[in-house]
Amino acid sequence: MAKQFRVLGVPLPTKQLGDVIPVPAVVRPVTTTTFTIVSSTRVSTVPEAEAVAGRLAAGLSTATGLPVTTGDGGSIRLSLDPGLGAEAYRLEITAGAVTLTGGSPQGLFWGVQTVLQLESGGVLPGGVIEDRPRFPYRGAMLDLARHFFTVDEIKAHIDQLVPFKINHLHLHLTDDQGWRLEIPGRPRLTEIGGGPGTGVDGAGPGFLTTAAYAEVVAYAADRFVGIVPEIDMPGHVNAAQVAYPELTADGQPVAPRTDTAVGYSSLPAGPETTYAFVEDVIRTVADLTPGPYLHIGGDECHSTPAADYRAFLERVLPIPAKYGKTVIGWHEIAAVDLPDHVVVQYWRPEADDAGTARAAAEGRRVIMSPADRVYLDMKYDADTPLGLDWAGLIGVERAYDWDPADRLPGVGEESLLGVEAPLWSETLRSVDDVHRMTFPRLPAVAEVAWSPRAARDWPSFRERLAAYGPRWDAAGVDYYRSPEIDWR
Ligand code: TNX
């Protein structure tokens, strides 16, 4: 039990009502009030939110060591009010009750994350929080192609993303060094592309069967996280071409590659075999994925002639819509005429991009992932053993202190679908490596994506982040103890 301080007989919580990452939109503390969890505390709920209530009860039990359960007549009450907006919630904490109202079960679930962050020593600080996200898309990306991560490792990663209200996990499933998702009609993709010796330096073999992928999708969905699968094309396809030489320009076999060069491989834009392959893969991935998005890559096609790149994308961009999916592509795709509804993901460090600006002007939405701010594979500082530095060094303040609506000329607030922090895995070998590069920068990006711009403040974030350290310690999460933060 944490130490309790008392002033004039009132127990002071170790947390203030605003001590949450990402910081909520509206915080109205009542500093004279706290709610104390006791052994008879129960969580009551409406039937639609039973699973969410169960998670809150389990989370509070684990945190306090008290047997918090769900049940009628509880002093913690969950309900729904669709008028709030799907991802919004309202939390009221008085001495006698905690009332959490969500716009949907998802909004309630984000409210649960707030309650779990606020709990300290069995005490919740009094007052009212009214919260909703700035952007609907708040993403993290994990590269399974350069190094494969198992179902359990992906689940462990999702567990650590959820407290920060991240609602999309983009999986980069294919690249030159490996192919990580089983496509039943094309078994060699994973037999060879996921087999021994694949990944950077041959150190990251493995693949997800369709059943394993479904397990990841279901686990994420239970936590209101959508999986965004990426099949990178027409470049980054050496692993596919090793497995099926018919996918090369001359039909000749190519050698497997485990180095980190980019831009040398390309599906040929002329042959029908290319499009039969692409359609097969997209149909399969769409069938396996309940969420709305399918990412088709499109980046770094340095060996694809511009006319071929255009011809390829003109054929391929309409395919996902046939299977009910909205296309996301890296912003290079904005060099061609895009169908409606295609989402452009900006990733370069440069200060402007004509294609992305044009796509935004034409009403398409943009996901911001500028490499010099949110690439979690960049080193924190010159001494960071893992990671790359081509987009610069990215400390915690650098990941925090920018705004997505100011990042690219012509791409303002209304054009943004959201923000995503990619983690490329060329230098990573374990889930500890993943966590060390992700934390504590991902919470900074999550706050950029969720919180109102006016509510963000580096000194406050730094304090709140320091207070989070003990939670990662307790959970065994290998985060980087950045010297920018006064860790507890
Ligand atoms: C660029 S970002 C890439 C990846 C690399 C990454 C390394 C993007 C769309 N392409 O292929 O893994 O840099 O930081």
In this prediction, residue 1 carries a pLDDT of 35
Q: Are 158 and 223 in contact (CB under 8 A)?
A: yes
> CB of 355 within 8 A of CB of 332?
yes
How far does the centroid of ligand 1 lie from the alpha carbon of residue 166, in Å? 21
- Strand residues in 198-291 grouped as ranges (E): 226-233
Nearest CA to ligand 1 atom 10: 299
What pairing do the DSSP bridges indicate for beta strands 10-12 and 293-297? unpaired
Pairwise CA distance, residues 9 & 30, whole Å: 16
Residue of higher predicted confidence among 14 and 112: 112
Judge whether residue 390 has pLDDT over 80: yes
User: 347 CB less than 6 Å from ligand 1?
Assistant: yes
The atom number, within ligand 1, closest to the CA of 424 reads 12
375 pocket-lining for ligand 1 (C-beta < 6 Å): yes
Mutate to test the pocket of ligand 1, among 389, 424, 428 (most ligand atoms within 8 A of CB): 424
Instruction: Say which of 48, 50, 215, 300 is annotated catalytic.
Output: 300
* E-assigned strand segments in 194-321: 226-233, 293-297
Question: What was the pLDDT predicted at 8?
Answer: 54
Interstrand relation of 178-179 and 137-143 (parallel, antiparallel or unpaired): unpaired
Q: Quote the percentage of the chain above a pLDDT of 90.
A: 97
Distance between CA atoms of 149 and 172, rounded to whole angstroms? 11
Clarify whether 300 is annotated catalytic.
Answer: yes
Nearest atom in ligand 1 to the alpha carbon of residue 377 is: 14
CA 215 to ligand 1 centroid distance, Å: 27
Give burial (CB, 10 Å; 0-12/13-18/19+) of 260.
Answer: middle
Residues ≥6 apart with Cβ < 8 Å to 266: 234, 235, 237, 249, 301, 303, 304, 308
Cα 365 to averaged position of ligand 1 atoms, centre (Å): 21
Question: Distance between CA 305 and CA 460 in Å, rounded?
Answer: 49
Averaged pLDDT, 140-145: 98
What pLDDT band is residue 2 in, cutting at 50, 70 and 90? very low
Q: Which atom number of ligand 1 is nearest to the Cα of residue 143?
A: 12
Q: Per-residue pLDDT tens for 143-202?
A: 999 999 999 999 999 999 999 999 999 999 999 999 999 999 999 999 999 999 999 999
pLDDT tier at 4 (50, 70, 90 boundaries)?
very low
pLDDT at residue 486 tops 70: yes
Kindly state the DSSP code that residue 181 receives in the 8-state scheme: B
**Segment 61-93, tens digit of pLDDT:** 999 999 999 999 999 999 999 999 999 999 999
Per-residue pLDDT band at 53 (split at 50, 70, 90): very high
| Unique residue bearing structure tokens 């999550």 | 446
Return all residues near 473 (Cβ < 8 A) that are at least 6 apart.
none
CA dist., res. 28 & res. 93, Å (int): 10
Find the mean pLDDT for residues 446-473: 97
- pLDDT of 65: 96
pLDDT (0 to 100) of residue 104: 98
Does residue 420's CB lie within 6 angstroms of at least one atom of ligand 1? Answer: no
Residue nearest to atom 13 of ligand 1 (CA): 424
What distance in Å separates the CA atoms of residue 293 and residue 296, rounded to the nearest whole number?
10
Q: Which residues are 418's β-sheet partners? A: 137, 367
From atom 12 of ligand 1, which residue's Cα is the shortest distance away? 424
262 CB under 6 A from ligand 1?
yes
Quick one: average pLDDT of 427-433? 97
Question: What pLDDT shows up at residue 14?
Answer: 76
- Inform me whether the pLDDT recorded for 242 exceeds 70: yes
